[in-house]
């Protein structure tokens, strides 16, 4: 699952300037993949919409369904309240994007000297390496220590 925020360029009193579209692709063991999508503010409940989609495709309460996403607010709320989706997995692409955003934040930071900036960037890269090699707990400890020192 992921989302996008297309921007409306026309001036209109009835049309919102930004719309959040949530989309996903469901892969099933015994049928062809199906697409799942909705406009966030056009459904009464994201959780109900997710459960309706899963139920409509034959998912029963006894089955385990995991949602792979960036774990943004609308996804975590939908999965937490779902009767059919049992778990969330933060996907590798979005994990990498979080590390890239941390590196990019250093670029224009005036509070950190350039030499220290390189040290912090190296720490971020080491933490990313730890995550990639299955050492998540060590990566979290390193990031928390870096956060505390900054």
62 and 24 inside one domain: yes
85 and 101 inside one domain: no
Give yes or no for residue 129 having a pLDDT over 90: yes
131 and 120 inside one domain: yes
Give yes or no for residue 8 having a pLDDT over 80: no
State if pTM tops 0.85: no
Q: Domain total for the chain?
A: 2
89 backbone dihedrals φ, ψ, rounded to 5°: -130, 125
Rg, C-alpha atoms of the chain: 20
Q: Which is it for strands 65-69 and 85-90: parallel, antiparallel or unpaired? A: parallel
Average pLDDT (105-116) is 75
Which pLDDT band holds residue 16 (cuts at 50, 70, 90)?
low
Average pLDDT (94-103) is 87
CA distance 74 to 21: 11
141 and 104 inside one domain: yes
pLDDT in tens, 70-83: 766 667 777 888 88
Nearest to 6 by CA among 25, 24, 19, 23: 19
Average pLDDT (24-42) is 80
pLDDT of residue 73: 63
């Amino acid at each position: 699952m992921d989302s996008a925020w297309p921007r409306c360029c026309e001036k209109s009193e009835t049309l919102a300037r930004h719309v959040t579209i949530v989309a996903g692709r469901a892969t099933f063991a015994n049928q062809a993949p199906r697409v799942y999508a909705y406009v966030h503010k056009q459904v009464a409940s994201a959780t109900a919409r997710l459960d309706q989609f899963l139920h409509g495709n034959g998912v029963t309460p006894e089955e385990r369904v995991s949602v792979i996403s960036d774990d943004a607010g609308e996804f975590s709320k939908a999965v937490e309240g779902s009767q059919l989706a049992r778990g969330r997995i933060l996907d590798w692409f979005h994990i990498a994007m979080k590390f890239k955003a941390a590196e990019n934040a250093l670029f224009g930071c005036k509070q950190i000297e350039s030499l220290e900036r390189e040290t912090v960037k190296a720490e971020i890269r080491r933490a990313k390496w730890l995550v990639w090699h299955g050492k998540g707990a060590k990566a979290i400890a390193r990031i928390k220590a870096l956060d505390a020192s900054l």
